[in-house]
Structure 1
């Protein structure tokens, strides 16, 4: 009975759109979402509600969510976020609204016919932050300094600018900051103190970020000269501001990392993290540093990890570093890692039915072979190396498997993963290695190790007649004969 009562109360809370007390200062919440409750009162035509959320810290691609509504009812959209963020809407017209994690933003909307009988979209929002941002947009033509129609936008559109142009653009930004803060002060009595602090931080640090971008276009010597942004780096009052953290990250990048472009992929990601983390640790107080490093680590997974090897390297970095993360922070990072694995379709093994990765390798006579050349036959791939003593000891078992299956539809392909051609030929001759013998050259060793998830040698993979994986990292030849014989007898 208690359990039923709990779920009833939970449902009532969701359906009533329990909004937080707007005056209460929000906390950073690592593992929650902001909710949009859409109350559709009447629909005389199809109603489309478009939303999108672009997080700059942690840095993520924009997420787009749309509701197409054909009948009255209550509908929900949610976005994962850790602190108050602006979300873009389009319901007949475009607007921005501030959402908070563990809170519900309520819109009443619908379509009704006007006096001429034409369908007309309407919506109502009772929210002090929405009112503030609409008034601000009406006065300035933008919501934040990261929008398109900001002061100095003409200079930001250029790939290169002069020092004189930089000074002019910086002057425009400074005036924009003064005008925005004056507007904020005029509305201060209508707003909670925490929002006033957040909005003021957004204004100041947005302009600072734009100055960094302008300095880059001016070919500013970040490495040897400190760019004077006239901002506080360790600023607890800005702890809820995404642009604050992003400005810090960009400042550290341009001053400590930009000159070294030799690193690529995950190597570059780890390089950027380790260089900027040390600087951030010296600049920021513990609470600000904790959020900064948590998001930076999650960015490393999401932006730079594209393979199992990348994920494992990042895992190893975190385990070997004393970041002093809380349980909530670790959970947040792990959730982001799982999202990166899913979104990037990163595999940790080859599954039955996966397509076997092809190759283009030479045999002893320099004839080229493709995996697709053997379509229609079952294939036993044997990965080995000339330096691998266990591999060489396994060759008699390969020859025995060949002898027992040579009259059937099985092809044994022995792929040497190193490029010591002379030693490779010597071993083939000495051991009388049966099957098709191929050797890697160039990038093939790295590619095949990654694609077949080879962590130790020898490594064996069984492929079917259609070129699909039967089993990766299958049994060694001495143990697989019965399984292969049964497979071939059933064909």
Structure 2
């Protein structure tokens, strides 16, 4: 599994290598980051880098791996680090486990700091040779990762429970540690995530009328720096997934230090986030409805269609149901078809929630096999996710606003199209 967040790139790679044999894989990097192998080993590489891993045993706990090439010493460190944690997931999982048990979330920053300190202690006591730049970088990366969890664990808990957990203003005192320009650290995923949350909070304080408050804050604080380009690239990807129309307007006006980044970023967005392609026929999908009947999207060709993707664990998705029912009832006699597709979920729980919410539109379920296909064809990342299809069975909006944000004008335009 490879993550590199400019603006959003996640790749799963299947590669099986027989004993005594070798193989290679090339990936496109924006900055140094990890390839995660079997959720146990993180291998660091970066732009222009080349890492060779000579694996003597695949038993992670007793792994014997020789690293050569770029980041050889650093990868030796990370092998020891992830063995110390147990696997790569344990860099983040303890934060979420701790957060799940809390009712008073004001206690969480101190708990998160104690978890981060365990990781910092490992770095401090690591005796094998590594460069000074890496020690500084890794210290900062761990701090940014811990601070990012202070944002994300709270958001994650609210997302899955559908409840708001109020915190005092001093909860965010850790933001003093977050620097948008940090010369002690190479850009990395932890930086991009932590600063994204930080900038989002700052943008809510902007009272000036601007096209996008977060881009305004980036320009104000980062000026003409490489970091400003990186943060803008990430932000533009988020804007695209919330409103393609807004993205099309802002993309033309946003400034970059390196104009090549503007083109590169737009290419990435169109390739990764632009699925299914606007103007193309909607991908073929056949799923099961609440009564066990097989239903294909093509059954509704010739009618305007809104598809909503949701999951049983997504509280915001479930919160959209009343408005979705209302829209369906209001426009069904004018030909509008609304299809809710439940993904990444348990079938029995889907049936229970659907009946409890009295879902009135076409209600379909994607099992694990179908979900893999849908995730690839529709580029399902964050949900809720809406897609609009016109009477010619072509995609007219691949990131339709969720029901509670969908305007009458947008619905009318789809119906009249």
Query: Same fold per TM (> 0.5)?
Result: yes
Q: Distance in 1 between matches of 2:394 and 2:87?
A: 51
Which residue is equivalent to 2:52? 106
Q: Of 23, 28, 33, which aligns to 1:75?
A: 23
- State whether structure 2 residue 179 is matched by structure 1 residue 219: no
- State whether structure 2 residue 136 is matched by structure 1 residue 136: no
Q: Distance in 2 between matches of 1:253 and 1:145?
A: 27
The structure richer in helix per residue is 2
TM-score by length of 2: 0.56
Which residue is equivalent to 1:53? 2
Give 3-state SS (helix, strand or coil) of 2:276's partner.
Answer: coil
Deviation at 1:211, TM superposition (A): 1.7
Deviations 1:415-440 (A, max 9, x none): xxxxxxxxxxxxxxxxxxxxxxxxx9
How do 1:365-376 and structure 2 match up within 5 A? none
Q: Of 259, 264, 269, which aligns to 1:337?
A: 269
Which residue is equivalent to 2:178? 232
How do 1:189-338 and structure 2 match up within 5 A? 190-216=129-155, 219-220=165-166, 227-229=172-174, 230-237=176-183, 238-254=185-201, 256=203, 274-285=212-223, 286-301=225-240, 303-304=241-242, 310=244, 313-319=246-252, 321-338=253-270
Q: Distance in 1 between matches of 2:269 and 2:140?
A: 30
Q: Distance in 2 between matches of 1:316 and 1:87?
A: 35
Q: Aligned pairs, how many?
A: 289
TM-score by length of 1: 0.48
Deviations 1:207-250 (A, max 9, x none): 1112223555572358x777211413333223413212211212
Check the 8 A contact 2:54/2:65 in 1, yes or no: yes
Deviation at 1:329, TM superposition (A): 0.3
Q: Distance in 1 between matches of 2:78 and 2:236?
A: 32
Give 3-state SS (helix, strand or coil) of 1:79's partner.
Answer: coil
Q: Distance in 2 between matches of 1:350 and 1:136?
A: 48
Q: Distance in 1 between matches of 2:146 and 2:201?
A: 16
Give 3-state SS (helix, strand or coil) of 2:143's partner.
Answer: helix
Q: Distance in 1 between matches of 2:64 and 2:118?
A: 32
For structure 2, the 5+ residue unaligned runs are: 158-163, 283-297, 305-332, 338-387, 397-417
Structure having greater relative contact order (Cα 8 Å, sep ≥ 6)? 2
Which residue is equivalent to 1:346? 277
Check the 8 A contact 2:5/2:234 in 1, yes or no: no
Check the 8 A contact 2:3/2:35 in 1, yes or no: yes
How do 1:5-16 and structure 2 match up within 5 A? none
Structure showing greater Rg: 1
Give 3-state SS (helix, strand or coil) of 1:125's partner.
Answer: strand
Deviations 1:309-334 (A, max 9, x none): x3x65233211x23235233023213
Deviations 1:320-351 (A, max 9, x none): x2323523302321321331366x13143569
Deviations 1:155-195 (A, max 9, x none): 2235x6214xx42x433332333343343234488222332
* Residues 449/242 of structure 1: CA separation in 2 closer, same or farther (3 Å cut): same
Give 3-state SS (helix, strand or coil) of 1:250's partner.
Answer: helix
Q: Distance in 1 between matches of 2:281 and 2:154?
A: 48
Deviations 1:291-326 (A, max 9, x none): 11022223444x447xxxx3x65233211x232352
* Residues 452/146 of structure 1: CA separation in 2 closer, same or farther (3 Å cut): same
Q: Of 350, 355, 358, which aligns to 2:301?
A: 358
Q: Of 370, 390, 399, which aligns to 1:448?
A: 390
RMSD: 4.4
